[in-house]
A and B are shown apart, each in its own frame.
Chain A
Amino acid sequence: MPDLTALQGTEASLASHDVDAVFIFILVIAAFFFVLTQGLLIYFAVRYRRKKGEPPAKTPYITGKQWLEVVWIVLPSLLLVGIFAYGVIIFVKMRTPIPGATDVQVTASQFQWSFKYPDGRTYSNELHLAVGKPVKLIMTSRDVIHGLFIPDYRQKQDVLPGRYTYLWLLPKRIGTFDIYCSQYCGTGHSLMRATLTVMGQNDYLAWEQSEKQKQQSAGASPKAKGKALFDSSGCGGCHSIDGSAKVGPTLKGVFGSTVTLADGKQVKADEEYLRESITEPNEQVVKGFQPIMPTFKSTLKDDDIAAIIAYIKTLK
């Protein structure tokens, strides 16, 4: 709903204020024509109604009125040009780079968002921003077309494989906001959601500092590297680490367990099983799941896969 907060100066972002103003402008024009046309339609239908079974009354033989037809071509045309122009002005503004914006790389994959900051920190399904600080999202997809949609920001942009698309955001209100995937991308589409957290500028700096420290203390152990790759490759989009069912089977406690496959066979989930599940995911599909996982053969090196397996082993 174009919550009228936009008009009260508490809008969530720069664009949400502008878009809501266009929305309300169109709404007023639409309401006018709605009342005019529906009013006449219902009024005529009632006023000139013929009683059941009565013969038709004498009706005037009117086949047209040129001036009237000119009016209802010209007047709506002018209003339409107005709506068009207002929409263009705001649209162009939304697509104009905001000076001083920080770059954030966004990678979409079935069914997960990954956000990478300039210093290399990468987050799965979480985007943290500072209020009043503009950012430029540089977005691409690892597989099919996705769409990054922040309803409170009135912003949306499809995310394509093989090219970059952009969004400029200027957060104006502290809080948490939903990020959805708006372009249908498969079974997990409706769960491909992320959270945008907007913090006060000091809070943001403190958060950034502690995140950097966390990263340093975790060091370069295979497990830490594995977790980073797990997040940046989008594994968590389909595989939970807490035992809950998603589009794919959970990875909690999977290592060492016995897995029942779609063809009824039972296999032990050892390192080789996990490796093959990453490189040839549709060879051994777990019973009850769709064979929809893409291969990561060309995107992950042997070292990477080993690190991810090391991470999966810790998920007990």
Chain B
Amino acid sequence: MSQTESYLAHKGFKSWALTMDHKRIGVMYLVTTHLFFLIGGFLALLLRLKLLSPGPALFSAHTYDVLFTMHGAMMIFLFIIPAIPSSLGNFFIPLLIGARDVAFPKLNLFSYYLFVSGILVILISLVQPIDTGWTFYTPFSAENSAAVTTVSFGLFLVGMSSILTGLNFIVTIHTLRAPGMTWYRLPLFIWGMYGTSVIQVLSTPVIGITFLLLVAERLFGVGFFDPAKGGDPLLFQHFFWFYSHPVVYVMILPAMGIISEVIPCFARKPIFGYKAIAYSALAIAFISFLVWGHHMFVSGMSTTAGVIFSFLTFFVAVPTGMKIFNWIATLYKGSISLDSPMLWALTFIFLFIIGGLTGLFLGSLATDVHVHDTYFLVAHFHYTMMGGTVMGLFSGLHYWYPKITGRMLDERWAKHAWWMIVVGFNVTFFPMFILGMQGMPRRYAEYPAKYHSLNVLATVGSWLLAVGIVIMFANFIRSLNRGAIAPANPWEALTLEWQVPSPPPEENFEVIPTVTDWPYSYGKETGDTRGK
């Protein structure tokens, strides 16, 4: 189809630093965010290493507090939130809808630099590393002597970047769809990204303003959150979770989008219940704004508020459960190949089910009182965030690696890594459910001896997990040069990005395609759509 140059053809620092190509910006985000995934993961290994012993060991409690704060803040703000939207979203939204770029390419590059400046500001804070936890609860964060103000400002910049990216995507999806690409012909990844972008645009300003209030509190002693001045420490928690709960769905919706692409392709079946999945993404985005109070059942909030938030929380389980059933139904009578993207997609479903079902104990008021702020909660959100979002991301990385780099991954090593990570993940995090049920609180630098053996088990699991992740990233890097040359469409998928060469030309499409069908016609008429 194309004789034009690949987007990777131009070399040199300037060709990257000043690029307005959504694909290059996507790759830049990919590298930046994954760097923080590796650093944040390394910090987690240190945390687990300390917890090998219940008493004082290895480093001080203060260092432990700094490390878990860094681990949480990096993983949440610099990795999970931007990882899929800003990297894979940037790279693939235009390709999937048949566009040449996003709606505002300059703004896109500007967003990247805002993101990087935010990171630089946060790095400055390492002079006086913060130990507030990633949740920054007042009054602890307001009175803290560490560089909370600096970090708040850095996160403010990162949030700005997030808002602009979301805005860019919304406009892109509305205005730049190829002829014939109606809303119901959109790949489900686009629906997921659309829901995510809406949440980013609507909720991120709230956290931005909250950080500004915190800064005003620290610098000028304003007293929004200080009871001595008539403020309310719980107000901060309301503001914080008004953003941070919807943002959980910023993390998960794009991953669900990836799963909705990979499952039909590798099962050679149309996605089951397209409209249900598409609308559930929007339903989740909407309801996500109404459930923040479930983080605060034991905070001192009124019983009535607790009851209402609990009810709304169970509401969000319905569209989430629907998606799980839809994916499983898609597998029925398929012709399933277990290549690495599919293995990761199935792993996503497997782990996300555990994450979702354990959420029932947290959504129910009576049981939440017991397991809240314990390791049960830690296990639950690692099953949903890492078992969910990150496994979805891994699926997407293995699925789209050939398109991004023009090379195939080594499938054998991908599977070695898969085994290690799946086993390591469960050995690390499953014991935490039991620890939490037994009452071990989170953020404990030292703990009573009765929790010792399960902590040892979790630490051993973290080593397996780490080895698996190292193997996976080694495979990513090694295959850049040594992987087999990728064909345009190695998975015989039907979405538009696979109809252009790997890696795609700079302009994506030589001629903007006209779309005549939805992208899930696997098995239609011939029963085999290969070569279509």
Interface size class of B (residues with CB under 8 A): 35 or more
Residue of B nearest to A185 (CB): B140
Contacts of B307 in A (CB 8 A): 88, 91-92
Among B65, B363, B521, B530, point to the contact of A56 (Cβ < 8 A): B530
| Interface 9-mer from B114-122, B267-275, B477-485 | B267-275
Question: Is the CB–CB distance between A156 and B298 below 8 Å?
Answer: yes
How many angstroms between the C-alpha atoms of A191 and B439 in the bound complex?
Answer: 15
**How does the 8 Å CB contact mask read for A51-93 relative to B, with 1 for contact and 0 for none?**
0100111111111110011001100110011011011111110
Say whether A221 faces chain B, with CB atoms less than 8 Å apart.
no
Which 9 residue pairs spanning A and B have beta carbons closest together?
A: A162-B227, A151-B439, A87-B364, A58-B527, A91-B365, A90-B366, A190-B444, A59-B523, A44-B331
Question: Is the CB–CB distance between A145 and B139 below 8 Å?
Answer: yes
Chain B, 372-409, CB within 8 A of any chain A CB? 372-374
Whether A55 touches B318, Cβ cut-off 8 Å, given contacts A48-B336, A144-B143, is no
Say whether A206 faces chain B, with CB atoms less than 8 Å apart.
no
Chain A, 181-232, CB within 8 A of any chain B CB? 181-191, 193
Among B357, B364, B444, max chain A CB count under 10 A is at B364
Contacts of B353 in A (CB 8 A): 33-34, 37-38, 41
Whether A191 touches B446, Cβ cut-off 8 Å, given contacts A38-B353, A52-B337, is yes
| Interface 9-mer from B97-105, B285-293, B320-328 | B320-328
Contacts of A186 in B (CB 8 A): 65, 131, 140
How many angstroms between the C-alpha atoms of A246 and B27 in the bound complex?
Answer: 48
**How does the 8 Å CB contact mask read for A282-293 relative to B, with 1 for contact and 0 for none?**
100000001110
Please list the residues of chain B having a beta carbon within 8 angstroms of any beta carbon in chain A.
60-62, 65, 131, 133, 137, 139-140, 143, 145, 227-228, 233-234, 267-276, 297-300, 303, 306-307, 310-311, 314-315, 317-318, 321-322, 324-326, 328-329, 331-338, 346, 349-350, 353-354, 357-358, 360-361, 363-370, 372-374, 434, 437-439, 441-448, 520-525, 527-528, 530
How many angstroms between the C-alpha atoms of A64 and B279 in the bound complex?
Answer: 14
Whether A23 touches B367, Cβ cut-off 8 Å, given contacts A34-B357, A151-B438, is yes
Question: Is the CB–CB distance between B310 and A87 below 8 Å?
Answer: yes
Question: Is the CB–CB distance between B369 and A19 below 8 Å?
Answer: yes
Say whether A240 faces chain B, with CB atoms less than 8 Å apart.
no
Say whether A265 faces chain B, with CB atoms less than 8 Å apart.
no
21 contacts between A and B (CB under 8 A): A48-B336, A49-B338, A55-B530, A57-B335, A61-B523, A63-B520, A69-B322, A69-B325, A73-B318, A73-B322, A88-B310, A145-B137, A151-B438, A154-B369, A154-B370, A155-B369, A182-B298, A183-B137, A187-B62, A187-B65, A190-B445
How many angstroms between the C-alpha atoms of A154 and B374 in the bound complex?
Answer: 12
How many angstroms between the C-alpha atoms of A23 and B371 in the bound complex?
Answer: 10
Question: Is the CB–CB distance between B322 and A158 below 8 Å?
Answer: no
Question: Is the CB–CB distance between A178 and B370 below 8 Å?
Answer: no
Question: Is the CB–CB distance between B346 and A158 below 8 Å?
Answer: no
Question: Is the CB–CB distance between A48 and B233 below 8 Å?
Answer: no
Q: How far is the CB of A97 from chain B (nearest CB, A)?
A: 12
Residue of B nearest to A154 (CB): B370
Chain A, 264-316, CB within 8 A of any chain B CB? 282, 290-292, 294
Question: Is the CB–CB distance between B364 and A41 below 8 Å?
Answer: no
How many angstroms between the C-alpha atoms of A198 and B394 in the bound complex?
Answer: 51
Question: Is the CB–CB distance between B314 and A156 below 8 Å?
Answer: no
Question: Is the CB–CB distance between B524 and A88 below 8 Å?
Answer: no
Taking A45-B336, A48-B332, A189-B443 as given, write out 10 further A-B residue pairs in contact, using a Cβ cutoff of 8 Å, ordered by the A residue number: A44-B336, A56-B268, A58-B523, A59-B269, A63-B270, A63-B272, A73-B322, A145-B139, A155-B369, A291-B145
Residue of A nearest to B526 (CB): A58
Question: Is the CB–CB distance between B233 and A190 below 8 Å?
Answer: no
Contacts of A92 in B (CB 8 A): 303, 307
Question: Is the CB–CB distance between B366 and A19 below 8 Å?
Answer: yes
Say whether A26 faces chain B, with CB atoms less than 8 Å apart.
yes
Contacts of A291 in B (CB 8 A): 145
Say whether A169 faces chain B, with CB atoms less than 8 Å apart.
no
Question: Is the CB–CB distance between A190 and B447 below 8 Å?
Answer: yes
Question: Is the CB–CB distance between B370 and A58 below 8 Å?
Answer: no
How many angstroms between the C-alpha atoms of A15 and B245 in the bound complex?
Answer: 29
Question: Is the CB–CB distance between A163 and B227 below 8 Å?
Answer: yes
Question: Is the CB–CB distance between A190 and B143 below 8 Å?
Answer: no
Residue of A nearest to B296 (CB): A158
Question: Is the CB–CB distance between B268 and A161 below 8 Å?
Answer: no
Q: How far is the CB of A274 from chain B (nearest CB, A)?
A: 22
How many angstroms between the C-alpha atoms of A40 and B62 in the bound complex?
Answer: 47
Contacts of B448 in A (CB 8 A): 178, 193
Contacts of A149 in B (CB 8 A): 373, 439, 441
Say whether A236 faces chain B, with CB atoms less than 8 Å apart.
no
Contacts of B524 in A (CB 8 A): 61
Q: How far is the CB of B378 from chain A (nearest CB, A)?
A: 12
Question: Is the CB–CB distance between B373 and A156 below 8 Å?
Answer: yes
Residue of B nearest to A34 (CB): B357
Q: How far is the CB of A204 from chain B (nearest CB, A)?
A: 25
Say whether A22 faces chain B, with CB atoms less than 8 Å apart.
yes
Contacts of A11 in B (CB 8 A): none
Q: How far is the CB of B316 from chain A (nearest CB, A)?
A: 10
Question: Is the CB–CB distance between A145 and B140 below 8 Å?
Answer: yes
How many angstroms between the C-alpha atoms of A26 and B227 in the bound complex?
Answer: 38
Contacts of B374 in A (CB 8 A): 182
Say whether A2 faces chain B, with CB atoms less than 8 Å apart.
yes
Say whether A115 faces chain B, with CB atoms less than 8 Å apart.
no
Contacts of B315 in A (CB 8 A): 80
Q: How far is the CB of A159 from chain B (nearest CB, A)?
A: 8
Question: Is the CB–CB distance between A190 and B61 below 8 Å?
Answer: yes
Contacts of A94 in B (CB 8 A): 366, 369
How many angstroms between the C-alpha atoms of A62 and B520 in the bound complex?
Answer: 10
Contacts of A163 in B (CB 8 A): 227, 300
How many angstroms between the C-alpha atoms of A60 and B333 in the bound complex?
Answer: 7
How many angstroms between the C-alpha atoms of A184 and B374 in the bound complex?
Answer: 11
Contacts of A2 in B (CB 8 A): 437
Among A38, A80, A91, point to the contact of B317 (Cβ < 8 A): A80
